[in-house]
Chain A
Amino acid sequence: MNARKEGWIYVGPATLFLFLVMLVPLAYVAYTSVTNAGGDFSLASYHRLFSSDLFKRTLGTTFQISILASLCSLALGYPIALHLARQTPRMRAIYMVLVLVPFWTSILVKSYAFTVLLGRAGLVNQLLSFVSGSTVQLPMLFNRFGVMVGMTNYLIPFIVFPVLASLLAIDKSLYRASEIMGAKPPRIFFRITLPLSLPGVAAGVLSTTVMSMGFFVIPALLGGRQDVMMSNLVDFYTRETMDWNMASAIGVILLGIVTLAAILADQAKRFGSRPGVPA
């Protein structure tokens, strides 16, 4: 009884604050999504969304970009995690800074850097022109390529952390045993390292995919008209057309997708962590 009350004294202020400044606004989004301009209950926004080609295309684009960006980040992040896992703790801490500095760098700094790097007369094209000896002007900005580069760059640390944790949890004696039995490095990798790191891979891929679904800045700054994602559509309806009901309906759908993915991830984790190996 006493502990009950005491707990509330500590968490009370934060709870009240988050209730007022987070839960109520979210409830307001849900409420707005099921009302019409006059304030009466109506599912018209959802009807309009699902009969709108723009929305359907955006939904498809969002899924495509999110999954692809997440897989690209996995392909690039895994070697870094592997490299970090092989270091001594001291060296690992030093190399870790190389991941942490970009992780902490503002997304706007990176977006700006990519507009400078990937533009038609940008540094990458200049470099390619210099190497090839002819004028190269590859279109790498304001298209899908630019979005993928920007998002992959942003997401890699979010893959590295969980995969590294998985790799470090692998019992070192397994490597020694397999080496003694004559396994070569590729075999060791595919039979031991990769399978045992799958929990981290799954966690990383799921969280980066979910994170990507809500991306706003990168598709807006590095993408073209064909690369509009759900967040950009919310922004469009909120600020351009002032159609708050539509914006809210998209918000609710986005929230639904993310919640569903989180529940699935949780179930997968529970299933994965079932004690299958007796001690």
Chain B
Amino acid sequence: MSTSASRGVIDRQGNFYGGVRNLLAVFVYAFILVPTLIVIPISFGGSGELSFPPRVWTLDLYGQLFSSTPWMASILQSLKVAVITTIVSMLIGIPASYGLVRFEFPGKKLVMLLLMSPILVPVIVISLGLYLYLSRLQVVGTTIGLVASHTAYVVPFMMMTVMAGVRKLDPALEFAATIMGASRSTVFFKVVLPQLKPSLLAGALFAFLVSFDEVVIAWFLTSPSTTTLPVKMYSSIQWDISPVIAAVSALLTALSFVFCCISVLFQPAAPSDGNP
């Protein structure tokens, strides 16, 4: 009986500290989630005044958004840039990920450093460099300049995902195919790529979202005719706080939620799983 009583004390203690811990955690979860979620109810409110929760639920702001030429143009521009950026970064990034994991060659460390540099270098310095360089080439303000810049910026983000996928592949399969007389390209396209499908999809989504959300480089490189959605939002928040931003933000929140679910589904054994 006495053991169960003392066990009870320990449990109560555990419950108390566990309760404090959970309370703190709930508070911080709320803090990081509120800005993401609050835009959803706001987006269904009217454009006249700010009240929470909205007094009248309407789709006015969405109507305004979809009938506004500048906003729709910036959304389409962002989609266009993000799609082309994703394709180009896959074309150069997938083989590079494979090459870096599978092969040893002189200068590999430098190549790795160069390919990862967009993550390491502050984005403002990258933006300035691209701005100075592309103005000399006279492609500032063009879609192609923006796509090239976004591709360079996005490549390492995508490669991290793909390289993790390549590391999990069994090299014996590639070796076996080579012994059976498959050419290098046959091995890459018929053996390597099919096994990589999940990481390729995750990498593509990653690249798309990073490009679609990117604001600093685009802020330096777009002209009024090539303004992307983030740049439009940035200047709108800075200058006029158009209520339409609430609708845009709600849509972006939905996008990040979808993205998040897909990325969780495709990486069931995330590094957070903690299996040694």
Q: Which residues of A contact B (CB under 8 A)?
A: 3-11, 13-15, 17-19, 21-26, 28-29, 32, 76-77, 79-80, 82-86, 89, 92-93, 95-117, 121-123, 126, 153, 156-157, 161, 164-165, 168-169, 179, 184-186, 213-214, 216-217, 220-221, 230-231, 234-235, 238-239, 244, 247-248, 251-252, 254-255, 258, 262
Contact = CB atoms under 8 A, between A and B. Distances in A.
B69 interface: no
A99 B25 contact: no
A17 B33 contact: no
Contacts of B215: 107-108, 217
B123 A214 contact: yes
A217 B216 contact: yes
Given A18-B114, A92-B272, A255-B125, A4 B130 contact: no
Given A11-B96, A15-B111, A121-B50, A28 B129 contact: yes
26 contacts: A4-B103, A4-B105, A7-B102, A13-B91, A17-B155, A18-B115, A19-B114, A21-B130, A21-B148, A22-B121, A22-B129, A77-B28, A82-B21, A83-B21, A83-B24, A96-B272, A97-B261, A98-B33, A102-B32, A105-B256, A106-B256, A185-B13, A221-B237, A231-B122, A235-B219, A258-B122
A232 B95 CA distance: 37
B263 interface: yes
Contacts of A80: 25, 28-29
B149 A112 contact: no
Contact of A26 (B126, B134, B261): B126
Q: Which of A25, A98, A110 has the largest count of B CB atoms less than 10 A from its CB? A: A25
Contacts of B105: 3-5, 7-8
B170 interface: no
Interface string B4-26: 00000010011001100110110
A117 B257 contact: no
A238 B115 CA distance: 26
Closest 5 CB pairs of A and B: A10-B99, A214-B122, A7-B103, A25-B129, A168-B274
B13 A184 contact: yes
A153 B114 contact: no
A231 B25 CA distance: 32
A6 B103 contact: yes
Most chain A C-beta atoms within 10 Å of own C-beta, residue among B105, B124, B132, B148: B124
B128 A22 contact: no
Given A109-B252, A115-B241, A96 B270 contact: yes
Contact of A220 (B33, B238, B270): B238
Contacts of A106: 213, 230, 233, 249, 252, 256
A171 to B, nearest CB: 10
B34 to A, nearest CB: 7
Scoring B18, B246, B260 by chain A CB atoms within 10 A of each residue's CB, the highest score goes to B260
Contacts of B104: 3-4, 7
A33 B114 CA distance: 21
Contacts of B227: none
Interface-central residue, A9, A14, A103, by most chain B CB under 10 Å: A14
A209 B15 CA distance: 35
B131 interface: yes
Contacts of B39: 109, 112-113, 116
